[in-house]
Structure 1
């Protein structure tokens, strides 16, 4: 197995988040911040084995995001619906229930 490169994994994570949260600027921005934060935290890791383990986990996370996250959107009837792409076929779908707490976009300070 070849060594994973940080920039490759970073870009893979950003592309996966972009695909999963397409059209949802709030969640996309939150995902981008979290990805950046995790890479900044890992910047000081000097152990090569630990670096490769972290990069492998990042690559797996990118695959998970791409294949397992599907967003639901409210349709004009007031119900939530999902469009499941080919990458998500065969995965588990968590049903949205009325008691679920869904993330809300924060109001920006003026």
Structure 2
């Protein structure tokens, strides 16, 4: 993997780790998806296409870092979000009772 590709790959993994901190299921799924996309593009040899893919990867890392906020249920049964500095100015999609949310896995 070239140095620019490795930088984008690491940036995506860091963004996913921050966005899905504490959610092993989503973090694992994000890591697998990131890896799969890079594997798909491994044999791209056209410099313009490679540059386009790297640009898209950088934009995806920025999107993950600034646009994804996880909600967690609190002791009252309501959902809470911790919005950081990177998220200021963004729109928040309300979590409604009819939304299908991933089930939490029981820890062994």
Structure 1 length-normalised TM: 0.90
Residue 65 of structure 1 corresponds to 64
How far, CA to CA, are the matches of 2:105 and 2:76 in structure 1? Answer: 25
Deviating beyond 6 angstroms after TM superposition, the runs of 4 or more aligned structure 1 residues are none
What is the total number of aligned residue pairs between the two structures? 104
Cα displacement (A) at 1:101: 1.1
Pairing 1:96–2:95 present = yes
Cα displacement (A) at 1:103: 1.9
Cα displacement (A) at 1:104: 2.5
How far, CA to CA, are the matches of 1:75 and 1:98 in structure 2? Answer: 15
Q: Secondary structure at the match of 2:36?
A: helix
In angstroms, what is the RMSD of aligned CA positions? 1.4
How far, CA to CA, are the matches of 2:71 and 2:105 in structure 1? Answer: 19
Residue 29 of structure 1 corresponds to 28
Cα displacement (A) at 1:44: 1.2
How far, CA to CA, are the matches of 2:22 and 2:28 in structure 1? Answer: 11
How far, CA to CA, are the matches of 1:24 and 1:84 in structure 2? Answer: 16
Cα displacement (A) at 1:105: 4.7
